[in-house]
Structure 1
Amino acid sequence: MPTKARAPVTAPLKGRGAASYVPGRYEVATTHAEDDGWDSLQARDDTDPEPHPDTRVHEERARGIVSRNDSPDIGFGQSVNPYRGCEHGCVYCFARPSHAYLNLSPGLDFETRLFAKTNAAERLRAEFSRKGYRCAPIALGINTDAYQPIERRYRITRSLIEVMAECRHPFSLITKNALVTRDLDLLAPLAQQRLATVYFSVTTLDNRLSSKMEPRASAPHARLRAMRALAEAGVPVGVMVAPVIPMINDSELEAILEAAREAGAGAAGYVLLRLPHELKDIWREWLQLHHPERARHVMSLVRQMRGGRDYDSAFGKRMRGEGPFADLVAARFERVRRKLGFGRLPPLDATRFRAPGAEGAGPQGELF
């Protein structure tokens, strides 16, 4: 079916990262609005974005909940995503193109048409009960943030952590939402058993830039405050400066790492801006709306880091890039990492796992 018509975008939408319904790559037909000389584009079309598009959540029952990968440049083999789509609206999110599989726009639909896997805990318990299941750490909330705003209502992430607590299953999570502190009553005792670690994604310390790039994520100072709360409760925490974007936030690399270290982060990493599939169009649109004076320069540097293209998906290059600018970022990161004494988070312990119903895998309270 054809996507919504796209008129020329002239202004950002308050509270949203994307500004239009960028069509997905699997659309059979798309429509594009053109002015016929009679100011036809001045009249509002039913398919144009609303000034304040609402968020709609579709509840779904997942058939499976654990995803597996063997990518050599990713440090986990299993992951669980409680939601599809993400209301944080991060304009740079590498997961946006996944909405194309749903015949939805990786642009505005990704952050306004969300899917909640209401039976996630049930499916996770079933996976742990499966004969022959081999315990390995699970990364929670990788494709989209497990603590995005709708988690306050649905509490699916908390229910998943409760299952992992019941079964003593190790997991890590990465988030940019201070809502994670709500679950300290679970995370702190699990961390004492070497069953949980948390990374915070911090893109900028500038509230104004954050509100444009990641409009519904927690403000930078709120993330640092949450990081400190977890660290003081004994939860191992790390920081990911992600993504690093030339001429937008790359100058903040050292400051972000220093602030995170002061807030209790024990490990650090970074990822360069990635622009797979439709994301390159969404990103260019954002640049033209917010930084038109430097848009060409930003994209020139991006292509220099990607072998002359907008993106290179090759393992080993997609996270770190190549070329002089990428090498400079790597050198700066390594210098400040050593200076601040960042190390590694404690390894997670998979030997404590007990399948549901097995001896020693009783109610959650028995873990503590």
Structure 2
Amino acid sequence: MNPNVPKGRGTGNRPANVFEKSKLVKEFPEGIDAIDAETGPLTEFLPVESKSVLSFNDSPDIPFSYSINPYQGCEHGCVYCYARTSHQYWGYDAGLGFESKILIKKDCIGLLRKTFEKKTYRPSPIVLSGNTDCYQPAERKFKLTAAILELCLEFGHPVSIITKNSLIDRDRETIRALAERKLIHVYFSINHLDSRLKQVMEPRTATSEKKLDLIRKFSALGIPCGIMVAPIIPGINLEAMPQLIQQAGAAGARKAGYTVIRLNGPLKELFQDWLETHFPDRKNKVMHQIESLHGGQSNDTQWGRRMKGEGALAQSISNLFRASVNKYMDPQRTMPEFDFTQFKRNGQLNLFNP
């Protein structure tokens, strides 16, 4: 274990913010400087104000238009997380700062209510969350996700959740009520079945066993569940995909999807350091395979390719995924269509503008 990685964190590094002209550097002259990461920083929860609550997406390779992110930054500590780069816009680093400086959008509930009440608003599925996990540890204290779900139930608005945290079980009654009205889809992000890998790659997420148990419990309650095998990291978790899909299908999952890893901005530095710490014998091979998926580079912004990759390895991953889904998931179990006629504005059913 790298001594510079605090317990329960994905990284101890603080890569320079690309938007900052200066950066903090420690030279450790004469060995007298202390290493902050040895003890690790306490998490700071920082309230912020939002101009708008819904984030609009027009990327053709993302299957939703609107998302809500009640939190920015994430204590889960997933070393590969693409959301790390966005933390730089707030003036923080994409490494340890992303995991320890959590921005809380306390005004998001009021803004969402006002949005739903606008005469010009037309309901469209909202994803919780498109960036950072809506059930990360901060949710236990601030309960913004719970309030958003209750608001969606009040207005009859469709919502989709994706999470890596078992805290979602706290809100199962609200989620079940939404499911009864065909207003919710729940996806669990599961990309491995190895608890030891979880401890170093996704330190503060729920174990795969807990998430599979929740799929089983939610499915029994009539809550439609799916899984996202994301991200797939060749040489690290690819081989687990068939067994993972098999177990998810047996638990009641109705749908599966996947993405491959991409390392934009400072993620490459963070991930290479992580490989050097935990899988030094595989470092070069894993990086070469990642680059082969993305046109010879680890970063990728090209629509389509950035999510699934291209080339021989990408085709092999696609084939393995399709074969696993065809073999282990019941084609008769599908995600129900959202019922937009449930939407009401100011307490009135919106029958004429679904």
Normalization by structure 1: what TM-score? 0.91
Please tell me the root mean square deviation across aligned C-alpha atoms, in Å: 1.6
Q: Any stretches of 5+ residues in structure 1 without a counterpart? A: 1-8, 362-368
In structure 1, distance between residues paired with 2:24 and 2:165 = 36
Read off the aligned partner of 2:299 and give its amino acid letter. Answer: Y
Q: Which of the two has greater helix per residue?
A: 2
Correspondence for 2:16: 23
> Is 1:215 equivalent to 2:203 in the alignment?
yes
Q: Percent identity?
A: 38
Change beyond 3 A, Cα 1:21–1:51: same
Q: Secondary structure at the match of 2:160?
A: strand
The answer on 1:346 being equivalent to 2:336 is yes
Instruction: Name 2:240's counterpart in structure 1.
Output: 252
Deviations 1:197-246 (A, max 9, x none): 10000021100000100100111111111121111111000011111001
In 1, Cα distance between equivalents of 2:262 and 2:335: 25
Return closer, same or farther for 1:41/1:273 CA change in 2, 3 Å cut-off: farther
Q: Answer yes or no: is the 8 Å Cα contact 1:10–1:289 preserved in 2.
A: no
Q: From the superposition, tell whether residues 41 and 336 of structure 1 become closer, same or farther in structure 2 (CA, over 3 Å).
A: farther
Residue 264 of structure 1 deviates from its aligned partner by: 1.2
Give the aligned partner of residue 365 of structure 1. Answer: none
Q: Deviations over 1:56-100 (max 9, x none)?
A: 101223221111111111110011111011111111111000110
**Structure 1 residue 312, shift from structure 2 partner:** 1.9
Q: Report deviation, 1:142.
A: 1.8
The answer to whether the 8 A contact 2:5-2:37 is kept is: no
147, 150, 169: which one aligns with 2:138: 150
Q: Check the 8 A contact 2:47/2:104 in 1, yes or no.
A: yes
Q: Which residue of 2 aligns with 1:6?
A: none
DSSP-derived class of the 1:319 partner = helix
- Rounded to whole Å, the distance in 1 between the matches of 2:24 and 2:68 is 36
1:152 and 1:33 map into 2 onto residues whose CA distance is: 35
In the alignment, structure 2 segments of 5+ residues that lack a partner are none
One of 59, 80, 84 as aligned partner of 2:72: 84
Cα distance in structure 1, aligned partners of 2:329 and 2:146: 32
Aligned to 1:321: 309
Shift of 1:44: 2.7
Instruction: Check the 8 A contact 1:86/1:148 in 2, yes or no.
Output: yes
Identify which of 310, 316, 326 aligns with 2:298.
310
Q: How far off is 1:13 after superposition?
A: 2.4
* Separation of aligned partners in 2, 1:70 and 1:244: 24
Cα distance in 1 between the residues matched to 2:3 and 2:22: 24
Q: State whether residues 188 and 211 of structure 2, in contact with CA within 8 Å, keep that contact through their aligned partners in structure 1.
A: yes
Q: 1:276 aligns with which of 264, 286, 296?
A: 264
Structure 1 stretches of at least 4 aligned residues deviating more than 6 Å after TM superposition: none
2:163–2:189 contact (8 Å) kept in structure 1:
yes
CA distance in 2, matches of 1:287, 1:26: 26
Say whether residues 1:359 and 2:352 are aligned partners: no
Deviates more, 1:151-160 or 1:9-18: 9-18
Which of 14, 26, 37 does residue 7 from structure 2 map onto?
A: 14
Q: How do residues 34-49 of structure 1 correspond to structure 2 at under 5 angstroms? A: 34=27, 40=29, 42-45=31-34, 48-49=36-37
What does the per-residue CA deviation read over 1:246-298, in whole Å, with 9 as the maximum and x for residues that have no partner? 11111101111111111111100111012111111111111111111111111
For 2:290 and 2:324, the matched residues in 1 are separated by: 23
3-state SS of 2:280 partner: coil
2:161 to 156, 173, 191: 173
Amino acid at match of 1:212: V
1:236 aligned to 2:249?
A: no
**2:212 maps to which residue?**
224
For residue 95 of structure 1, give the secondary structure of its aligned residue in structure 2.
Answer: helix
Which amino acid is the alignment partner of residue 67 of structure 1? S
Amino acid at match of 2:53: I
Are 2:4 and 2:37, in contact at CA under 8 Å, matched by a contact in 1?
no
Query: Aligned pair in 2 of structure 1 residues 221, 358: CA closer, same or farther (>3 Å)?
Result: same
Which residue does 1:127 correspond to in 2?
Answer: 115
Q: Which residue of 2 aligns with 1:287?
A: 275
Q: Which amino acid aligns with 1:348?
A: F
For residue 96 of structure 1, the aligned residue among 84, 105, 116 is 84
1:117 aligns with 2:105: yes
Give the aligned partner of residue 53 of structure 2: 65
Distance 1:316 1:41, change over 3 A: farther
AA aligned to 1:172 is: S
Q: Which residue matches 1:263?
A: 251
After the TM superposition, which of the residue ranges 335-344 and 264-273 deviates more from structure 2? 335-344
* 2:227/2:248 contact within 8 Å kept: yes
Counterpart residue type for residue 76 of structure 2? H
- For residue 336 of structure 1, what is the aligned residue in structure 2? 324
CA contact (8 A) 2:250 2:328 kept: no
Contact 1:24 1:106 in 2 (8 A): yes
Contact 1:142 1:173 in 2 (8 A): no
